Amino acid sequence: MTPTQKTIAVNDISLVYFEWNGGADSQKPPMIFAHATGFHARVWDSVIAHFPDRHIYALDMRGHGRSTGGPIENWQQLSGDVCAFLDSQEIKGATGIGHSMGAHTLLQSAADRPDAFSNLVLFDPVILAPEFYADGTPWFTPDNPHPSIRRKRNFDGVEAMIARFEARDPYEIFERRVFEDYCRHGLLPKANGQGFELACPPEVEASVYASSRSNSAIHETAKSVDIPATIVRAKQTERMDFKGSPTWPDLASTMPQGTDMPRPDMTHFHPFEDSADAARIIAEAMAA
């Protein structure tokens, strides 16, 4: 399945999204996919391939992929963009599927646009315990930036990016197709025509981590989302790292129709480790 790339103006940016029109089931409410920090819409391709007959949208979030936008100061900028997209497409009753930052954003968007979604499947939605948000101060600062600010920005091409990362943590646990999609769609030609650069600039990625406490009302927001919501939580680790689950274990219990799905056999990158399993979870949630 090859999607159509489209662009709309929302808020102060150009928001890019990819649309699969589907077939026999394309008249059913659509599926909307939102990605994690530092990724892009097309990392979902392997999961989306399991739904060939559905009408599907996958978004490049602000500052990621082919969408414009600079560093992010507040996560509600992200949900504001998603809500503007939902309004522009007049979407009702969709299934929202998000990973990490994208999952957090869809939960906020479902609260802000109650008719847009009929259910949610959220893979580790980066909603930490309430005390994480208590003082509201930035998690990282310009004097102490997130390590992603040092990420390599420039590459000769996709093959060079693949060669650099294929044996590195955490990419070595990704399915090969997902990893190659991450690299293939994660580079953009440089303005001077010489080589390529990351589609999510390191300063944008670092700004997402720095502002991760900004949506301090997210727990009250979660309590207001009265639709079925499956919270898929990866393994817990003793220290905060990219593979461990950041999600508060009690999150689902605070939601009117929340379902907690602990998956200690998976890391935070569950949809990329086992896209078929992620698709099964989504399909079962929609069937229920």
Per-residue pLDDT of 159-187, as tens digits, reads 999 999 999 999 999 999 999 999 999 99
**Does a structural domain hold residue 250?**
yes
pLDDT for the residue numbered 146: 65
**Does a structural domain hold residue 169?**
no
What are the pLDDT digits (tens) for 98-154? 999 999 999 999 999 999 999 999 999 999 999 999 887 777 777 777 677 788 999
- Which residues constitute the domain of residue 123? 4-140+211-287
**Which percentage of the chain shows pLDDT scores above 90?**
84
**Does a structural domain hold residue 58?**
yes
**Does a structural domain hold residue 193?**
no
Quickly tell me which residue has 């990625």 as its tokens. 205
Distances (CA, A) of 117 to 51, 271, 288: 18, 21, 15
State the total domains in the chain: 1
The 8-class DSSP code of residue 187 comes to E
- β pairing state of 4-10 and 13-20: antiparallel
Here the CATH number for the domain that contains residue 250 is 3.40.50.1820
The answer to whether 186 and 199 have CB atoms below 8 angstroms apart is yes
C-alpha 220, offset from chain centre: 21
* Section 9-15 average pLDDT: 97
pTM strictly above 0.75: yes
Question: Is residue 10 scored above 70 in pLDDT?
Answer: yes
The pLDDT-based confidence of 242 (bands split at 50, 70, 90) is confident
Q: In whole numbers, what is the pLDDT of the chain averaged over residues?
A: 94
